[in-house]
Amino acid sequence: MPSHNESDALKAQSQEEANSLKTPFQQKKTPIYFILVSWSISILLLLGMFHVVPFKEVWRALHQVNPLFILLAVSFAFLNLWLRGYRWALLFFPHYHILPSSAFSLTTIGLAINGTLPGRIGELARIGLAVKKFRTSVAFTTTTVVIERLFDGIILLSLLGLSLFLLPPIEVDRSVQLLGYTVNSEIIMNFMRGLAFICLSLVIVVIGLAIPYTRKTIHQLLSKIPFIGSWINRKTANLFDDLGKGLSSLKEMRTISKLLFYSMIIWLASAICNYLISLGMTGIQLTFLQAIVVTSMSIATSSIPSVPGAWGVFEAGGLFALVISGVQFDQAVGIAYVLTVHIVSYLLIVLLGITLALREHVSLNSVKEEKC
């Protein structure tokens, strides 16, 4: 029979292991009033859009969509999601052998949470679920998600830049009216330059942290901070090792090439989806390059803090992309197009996310428990 001291030691060890599995998601709690306000804003944004253009005109344009092209678009949207999961599983290798199907499930569940709950907590939820399911550390798993976003940013900016270079020059005096506001090219270009700066900064930080000497130096400097240095040293004892493991996938050019390839296919599949939707609509015709611009800008503007599902900001980015890429369209048809693109993606993610959450035994209550 274990002694009293041994029992205390076992309890302390169990508590320490439990704490190691905690994520920032478990400490984040969204008040109910914030949820109500967020959904109210979403409804007001949509009502404002239909105030500018009569709903009947948009509804008429939506009724002319060819369902065959929608089905084809959904298949490429699904391919986008599957490849995201496959790419994420690749980032765990060689330290963990994760099935692509499991990574796909958690990726889709995280995106569904992003689309239904406020606060953009989907990524935090995905990290928390992965830590519990795959028995990985928080730092390692978080690093894989950051690397994903880094490659997404690089590819999206590259595709956008190449498409705008190949398309006719942007008419800088063109603008689009949305919800009573005028969005011009200067606003969007400043935003894209800011996004490029953030992406470049992340590249520099990731490369720096991938170097063992840099991690060791940062750890030593933090440990020497007066009064709290010893506490930081204890808390970050394994943190930098886990960061190194998470970044180890970037040490091989073969892995980097795979990540770039899959990231390229992911966003080209999304562009094909948007292109097919345009083919199935009357009154708007996009080239594939224009579809890439719409994809890149709508995704980029969706990163702006907004309501669940990025309703409003997604449409703003998509509409302006249509304008600067030279697409000729009636406002009702343009709104119908960006709404269709958004709805197709949104419904697929949410419905598939709910299905996979049931399969993984992830419920809304379990999500709330992790937030507490």
Tokens of 39: 């959904």
Q: Give burial (CB, 10 Å; 0-12/13-18/19+) of 44.
A: middle
- The values of phi and psi at residue 178, to 5°, are -140, 120
Q: Flag whether 208 is in a domain.
A: no
Q: Flag whether 111 is in a domain.
A: yes
pLDDT of 9 reads 45
Helix (H, G, I), strand (E, B) or coil at 175: strand
Tokens of 76: 């490429």
Poorest-confidence range of 25-29, 85-89, 111-115?
Answer: 25-29
Q: Flag whether 213 is in a domain.
A: no
Identify the top-confidence range among 9-18, 137-146, 199-208. Answer: 137-146
Q: Give burial (CB, 10 Å; 0-12/13-18/19+) of 186.
A: exposed
Radius of gyration of the chain (CA): 23
Contact indicator for 320, 188 with CB cutoff of 8 Å: yes
Q: Flag whether 7 is in a domain.
A: no
Partners of 181 in the β-ladder: 178
Helix (H, G, I), strand (E, B) or coil at 168: coil
Q: Is 309 left (phi over 0), alpha (psi -120 to 50) or beta?
A: left
Provide the b/e sequence for 221-256 (b: ≥16 CB within 10 Å): ebbeeeeeeeebeeebeebbbbbbbbbbbbeeeebe
Q: Flag whether 232 is in a domain.
A: no
Q: Flag whether 33 is in a domain.
A: yes
**Alpha-carbon 228 to chain mean position:** 35
Is residue 337 very low, low, confident or very high in pLDDT (cuts 50, 70, 90)? very high
Nearest-10 crossing angle of helices 185-210, 313-324: 110
pLDDT of 150 reads 86
pLDDT of 18 reads 46
Q: Flag whether 218 is in a domain.
A: no
pLDDT of 263 reads 95
User: What's the DSSP call for residue 182?
Assistant: E
Tell me the one-letter amino acid at 214: T
pLDDT of 85 reads 95
Tell me the one-letter amino acid at 267: W
Question: Cβ contacts of residue 118 below 8 Å, gap of 6+?
Answer: 30, 34, 35, 38, 307, 308
Q: Flag whether 222 is in a domain.
A: no
Read off the pLDDT of residues 271-296 as tens digits, 9 standing for 90 and up.
999 999 999 998 898 999 999 999 99
Contact indicator for 215, 244 with CB cutoff of 8 Å: yes
Structural domain of residue 36, as residue ranges?
24-182+246-371
Residue 182: other Cβ atoms inside 10 A: 9
How many structural domains does the chain have? 1
Q: What is the percent of the chain with per-residue pLDDT over 70, rounded to a whole number?
A: 76
17 has pLDDT over 50: no
Output the CA torsion sign for 111, 117, 123, 127: negative
Q: What does the alpha-carbon distance between residue 3 and residue 29 come to, in Å, rounded to a whole number?
A: 39
- The values of phi and psi at residue 284, to 5°, are -150, 130
Closest CA to 198 of 159, 154, 155: 154
Tokens of 277: 């939707």
pTM > 0.85: no
Contact indicator for 286, 163 with CB cutoff of 8 Å: no
Max CA pair span of the chain: 82
Q: What does the alpha-carbon distance between residue 288 and residue 290 come to, in Å, rounded to a whole number?
A: 5
Could you tell me which residue, 194 or 297, shows the higher pLDDT? 297
Q: What does the alpha-carbon distance between residue 85 and residue 147 come to, in Å, rounded to a whole number?
A: 13
Q: What does the alpha-carbon distance between residue 330 and residue 279 come to, in Å, rounded to a whole number?
A: 16
